[in-house]
Chain A
Amino acid sequence: MAGIPGLRPVDDPASRDRFLMRAFVAGGTLLAGGALVAGLPRLAASAQSPARDAEIFNFALLLEQLQAAFYGEAAERAELDAELLGFAKVVAEHEREHVAYLQTALGSAAREEPRTDFGDATTDPEAFAAAAITLEDLAVAAYNGQAANLTKDGLRAAATVVSVHARHAAWIRSIVGMPPASQPVDQPLSQAEVAARLEESGFLQEA
């Protein structure tokens, strides 16, 4: 919490990690592998549970992996202008941290890396910005859409990630001169809606 003096984290990352480890160990093996959206299992309409947390976070992992791959490729190809490239590098690191966090928490249940194809979206400034906005807004809507399905501890963990995606979304809009936030509330999306938008993006390839 830079910018606010005297703030200390309520739950430090170490305890957050311990929680997620417990949750996912309890959840057992769920949906390993199978990156393609078409292969995603539908969430049962069940009460919150560590097992359901694991399903939700394994789906979130796909979004994080896709973003990490996207920004990582943009940073590596380094054809964007300085400001966009700087954004891509910082955000790539955040997404890698999100991926590592979820992978560690999910253990052997963690899905495999998806195969991706971003076309010119990692080199063309307009395509890059449009893709970044889509992916960040999608992540915000996806986490928000699952908030009520997570256990309390799962929600605490997700909340530390979702606002960082919201920050990314406002940041890239600021860079390209779009209004960063004009709605009073972010609308959630169901997992099926998120999956449909991922398919529309064309960024995920058949394994």
Chain B
Amino acid sequence: MTFRDIPDLALADLDRDGAIREAVDRLERSSRSGFLSAAAGGMAAAMALGRPTPAAAALTRGDSAILNYALTLEYLQDAFYTEAERKGALAGPAARLTRVVGAVERAHVKALREVLGRKAVKRPFFDFRGVTEDPPSFVRTAVAFEDLGTAAYKGQAHRIESREVLAAAVGIHSVEARHAAWIRYIAGSAPAAEAFDEGTTKAETLRLVRATGFVVARPRTTVAKTPSFTG
């Protein structure tokens, strides 16, 4: 089997506004100030994710921050696949992947929002700049998102305090890896290039996401009434 190389995402020429930085700042403010515990029904995720629901377990501040970071990435993936499915420009294996993976990412968003409750960071605005309508760009970007999602969860696993949160996070982590291999197979790229997958830190992950310019301060087609980043 031969694999062709996938060109990297053209990050540099997509940069704009550092909007994800705002999202993250907001996220951190909201988890600091969230005095209402996201008791969250333990993992309410549990329901969406089909695992037994532990009794209400208050999230620690650290776990809330990690889950909100995860939620930010899941929002990005959710929006990406949902838009691609809506635009309908994909066909064959990529279209099938989009339907299935989109549904999974939406389930992740729903689960994380339920767990976080009022602590959940709001959904940012996205502008994918035509990537969801251009099959080659879509595939390259999906590879990057899934590899990044895998690396991002991996980079946080050892920081999670709650056993329930950890159990859910590792179960999502390996699903992101399955997605990465799936889209890589479609792309003709090595589904598993190395014997060991490395993680990324939050700072590295967010720098990469910010560099895509896909996260924007306001909807592309609507004039926001307030200039602040409100999701």
Contacts and interface: CB of A to CB of B under 8 A. Distances in A.
Q: Are A and B a genuine interacting pair, yes or no?
A: yes
Contact of A4 (B48, B163, B189, B208): B208
Interface residues of B, number: 63
Nearest to B191: A171
Contacts of A91: 192
A163 B182 contact: no
Interface stretch (A25-33, A53-61, A116-124, A149-157): A149-157
Contact of B51 (A13, A179, A185): A185
A147 B8 contact: no
Interface in B192-227: 192-201, 204, 207-208
A184 B111 contact: yes
A167 B191 contact: yes
Given A11-B198, A180-B185, A155 B167 contact: no
The A contact surface, by secondary structure, is: helix
A137 to B, nearest CB: 10
Interface centre among A93, A186, A187, A188, by most B CB within 10 Å?
Answer: A186
Contacts of B176: 163
B104 to A, nearest CB: 5
B171 A97 contact: no
A179 B171 CA distance: 18
Given A166-B181, A184-B111, A5 B158 contact: no
A6 interface: yes
A180 B172 CA distance: 14
Nearest to B105: A184
A178 B197 CA distance: 24
Contact of A2 (B174, B190, B208): B190
Contacts of B194: 2, 94, 164
13 contacts: A86-B1, A90-B190, A160-B199, A163-B177, A166-B174, A166-B175, A174-B186, A174-B191, A175-B185, A181-B178, A185-B168, A185-B175, A186-B171
Interface of B: 1, 6, 8-9, 11, 45, 48-51, 100-101, 104, 107-108, 111, 143-144, 147-148, 150-151, 154-155, 157-159, 163, 166-168, 170-182, 184-186, 189-201, 204, 207-208
